[in-house]
Amino acid sequence: MCAFQVEPTATILEIKSMFHKSSNLSADSWTVVFTEAKSLKDEDILQQLPVGTTATFYFRDLGAQITWAKVFLAECAGPLFIYLMFYFRLPFIYAPKYDFTTSKHWVVHLACICHSFHYVKRILENMFVHRLSPGTMPLRNIFKNCSYYWLFAAWMAYYINHPLYTTPYYGQQQVKAALIIFLFCQLGNFSIHVALRNLRQPGSKVKKIPYPTKNPFTWIFMVVSCPHYTYECGSWVGFTLMTQCVPVAFFTLIGFIRMTVWAKGKHRNYVKEFRDYPTLRSAILPFIL
């Protein structure tokens, strides 16, 4: 317990920093401030709050936190570099005679380009396209999230870049078809991200229903609520077909399950929020899911 004297024009952020200085909390710890009535934001000003000449504030220590932006960066940069480690056959992965060689199959080179392109695109989108919420999550979540992406990336990359890799059964036809699917879905995914970004003005909190735009890739909005997940699954289906690798298929399947759960949640929120939400739309798969 401690007491401060502040000006009525003080913001919660200032009160928080006074509290941090006087307490022993580490600089990384985030605190949430609330009165008996409700929780408060950094921008709230003291004199606008329903309190008298003395106000009682409660501080809850959330522990070390990390922003969404940093988490996404770690999740995407990891697989990018891990895959390349296997592609360039760094030592101690495969038998020593293969160190620093590259595969003789052209599909392996293509797969590396596609995989790397996918994650570079993701990183750039995180930096320039997505309007990420300023929210945070506990630091230990980053270990859980990153292990999922990093371990799967290592598992897939190990087999695709293996000296004993077997090329797809239907050869060039299969790889070409897979590449078309992959590129189509990457473009689609990017189009949706741009469309979602353009829905909201920077700083505004107004939620709007996304609609198809002039870009044909966005016409899928007519039948799906979360087409960015649909296109993402499509990309990974393409990658699975391209590499014909069971670990990739596994990753695609689990990714599909996760994204379906997220899509269903978002779809439910849309339907709850908007009375006139288009009834033709499904969550992630047109007319199916």
Partner 1 sequence: MASGEEDGSLEEKENNNKKRAKSAIATAWLTFYNIAMTAGWLVLAVAMIRFYLQKGTHKGLYKSISRTLKFFQTFALLEVGHCAIGIVRTSVIVTGVQVCSRIFMVWFVTNSIKQVQNEESVILFLVVWTLTEITRYSFYTFNLLNHLPYFIKWARYNMFIVMYPLGVIGELMTIYAALPHVRKSEMYSMRLPNKYNVSFDYYIFLIIIMLSYIPLFPQLFLHMLRQRRRVLHGEVIVEKDE
Under the rule (CB under 8 A), what is the footprint of partner 1? 159-160, 162, 164-166, 169, 243-247
* 48 or 166: CB nearest partner 1: 166
For the bound state, the minimum distance from the C-beta of residue 87 to partner 1, rounded and expressed in Å, comes to 15
Taking the complex as a whole, the smallest distance from the CB of residue 98 to partner 1 amounts, in Å, to: 13
Residue closer to partner 1 by CB (options 250, 277) is: 250
Task: Report the nearest approach of partner 1 to the CB of residue 164 (Å).
Answer: 4
At its nearest, how many Å lie between partner 1 and the CB of residue 3?
A: 39
Between 103 and 225, name the residue whose CB sits nearer to partner 1.
Answer: 103
Closest approach, Cβ 243 to partner 1, in A, equals 7
Radius of gyration of the chain (CA): 24
174: left (phi over 0), alpha (psi -120 to 50) or beta: alpha
Nearest residue (CB) to partner 1, 234 versus 247: 247
User: Residue 244 CB, nearest distance to partner 1 (Å)?
Assistant: 6
Task: Specify the residue, 170 or 274, whose C-beta has the smaller distance to partner 1.
Answer: 170
Chain-centre distance of CA 145, in angstroms?
10
The residue among 161 and 260 lying less far from partner 1, judged by its C-beta, is 161
